[in-house]
Each structure stands twice: as C-alpha cells, then as structure tokens.
Amino acid sequence: GQQLNQSPQSMFIQEGEDVSMNCTSSSIFNTWLWYKQDPGEGPVLLIALYKAGELTSNGRLTAQFGITRKDSFLNISASIPSDVGIYFCAGQLFNDMRFGAGTRLTVKP
Amino acid sequence: GAVVSQHPSRVICKSGTSVKIECRSLDFQATTMFWYRQFPKQSLMLMATSNEGSKATYEQGVEKDKFLINHASLTLSTLTVTSAHPEDSSFYICSARAGTLYEQYFGPGTRLTVT
C-alpha cells in the first residue's frame, strides 16, 4: 500500500539520549502499529495502538495514537546501543495497511 | 507473543527455476497472510494478501502468474516464484493476522538470490 509520511528518515544520537519519531497521514486509521527491523530480519512489533488519544508504553518506548486518527509518534527514552535499527510505523484500517518509509536509528556508545 | 516462521531463510537458485517459500503461524490461526518484498534500505512493499481457502489478492503491478500464492490452511501460506530471474532477487517477508482487528506479525524473511 501507499506509504505514510514518517520522519525523520534517519537519526544519529548519543547513547542515553531520548528519541522521537512520528508518522502522519491524510487518511484515518483504526490501528497504529510501530515495528522495529534489524538487518536481515523481519519487523518485530513494538507497540500497537487501538484508540484515538491512546498513550501506550513498552519499557523505554512510548507511543501515542493521534486524536485525529491521522498520526502517531514513538518515543524512546535513554537510548542504548541495541536500539539501533529501522523503525516503521504502520496504519491499519481493516484490510488496508500502510507503512512509513522507516526511521533509521544509529546510537553512538 | 505471536510467532511466524519462514522457510527457507536464504535460497540461491539458478535463473529459470522456481522457488517455494513457506510461511507458518506457529501459535495462532491466521485468517489472513500477507506477502511483502523489500529492497535494500526501503520500506515493505505489499505484494499480495491471501485469505485461507480463497484466491490471493495481488497488488497492482505484481504478476500473479509469476508469484503464486497458496493459503491452504489457517497456519500455512506459500509463495512460489516461478521462472525466477535475477531481478527477482530480493528479501521476501510474510506476515500473518488472526483477524481484521488484530495486528500483523511478521516472519523473519527469506533472502532470495537468483544467479
């Protein structure tokens, strides 16, 4: 499907820093998902959001489902080297699922 | 969490041959399975959606006679790349979902190289 607008495309941060990335769309979704993909692997689901305004945490990760249902953000606090990878957002409306282009995160020790 | 497996993880084949990739949901029944293709440093490109027991729905530009998809059971879908060519070399990833209101879980991917 068509891609969502995901930003930034890449981030280079120092270990310990916080990270924020977001996705926007012109369409509404009933589910927002955030995945992480390591090189040569399939994406792994990090957080799933089902309600507008929902704020959900998974360890150092926090994500929110935008109130307009057209956007979502993912925050990573106190980054560590193993956070390196590509993060994809995905918006789902029944059988239609669209992906962002990904945010490539590099963490310097 | 839900687990999806893919086999093989890597395959090298000669041009003109066919290759079959299996996708299995190990701990849940998948009413729908999806097949994606991913080029280096790019996002996932949906190729087709398959529901158990019915024909797959292919995305525009994806040749259904070249990429044969079979979803014979609630835990298994297969993608067969027929008469493979070097330009078919790519990373193929499947995903599975228990229902329309459920999230997709991805397999680990299959790296296909056609020589």
Cβ-based contacts of B43 with chain A (< 8 Å): 3, 88, 99-102
**Spatial distance between the Cα atoms of B56 and B46, rounded to a whole number of angstroms:** 12
In this prediction, residue A82 carries a pLDDT of 95
* B4/A95 Cβ within 8 A: no
**What's the Cα-to-Cα distance from B67 to each of B21, B97, B101, rounded to whole Å?**
11, 21, 27
Whether residue A66 is predicted with pLDDT greater than 60 in this model: the reply is: yes
* A94/B46 Cβ within 8 A: no
Residue among A9, A37, A72, A89 with most chain B CBs within 10 A, to mutate? A37
Reported confidence tier of residue A93, pLDDT bands at 50, 70, 90 = confident
> Quick check: bond before B40 cis, omega within 30?
no
Whether residue B18 is predicted with pLDDT greater than 70 in this model: the reply is: yes
In this prediction, residue A97 carries a pLDDT of 85
Within 10 angstroms of residue A95's Cβ, the number of other Cβ atoms is 13
Q: Per-residue pLDDT averaged across A71-92, rounded?
A: 96
* B111/A43 Cβ within 8 A: no
Terminal CA-CA length for chain B: 37
Long-range contacts of B67-73 (CB under 8 A, 24+ apart): B67/B35, B69/B35, B71/B33
In chain B, what are the helix, strand and coil shares in percent, each to the nearest 5?
5, 50, 45
**Cβ-based burial of B63 (10 A; exposed 0-12, middle 13-18, buried ≥19):** exposed
Q: Per-residue pLDDT averaged across B37-56, rounded?
A: 90
**Spatial distance between the Cα atoms of A84 and B32, rounded to a whole number of angstroms:** 30
Task: Give strand pairing partners of A103.
Answer: A87
Least confident among A33-37, B17-21, B101-105: B101-105
Q: Which member of A35, A88, A95 has the closest CB to residue B49? A: A95
* A101/B43 Cβ within 8 A: yes
* A31/B101 Cβ within 8 A: yes
Q: Per-residue pLDDT averaged across B33-49, rounded?
A: 92
* B103/A42 Cβ within 8 A: no
B66-102 confidence digits (pLDDT tens): 999 999 899 999 999 999 999 999 999 999 998 766 7
Two tokens, residue B42: 């790019």
User: What is the rounded average pLDDT for all residues in chain A?
Assistant: 94
In this prediction, residue B30 carries a pLDDT of 92
Q: Which residues of A touch B (CB under 8 A)?
A: 1, 3, 31, 33, 35, 40-45, 48, 88, 90, 92, 94-95, 97, 99-102, 104
Distance from CA of A29 to the nearest CA of B (A): 11
In this prediction, residue B100 carries a pLDDT of 67
Within 10 angstroms of residue B18's Cβ, the number of other Cβ atoms is 12
Whether residue A2 is predicted with pLDDT greater than 70 in this model: the reply is: no
A25-61 confidence digits (pLDDT tens): 999 999 999 999 998 999 999 999 999 999 999 999 9
In this prediction, residue B53 carries a pLDDT of 83
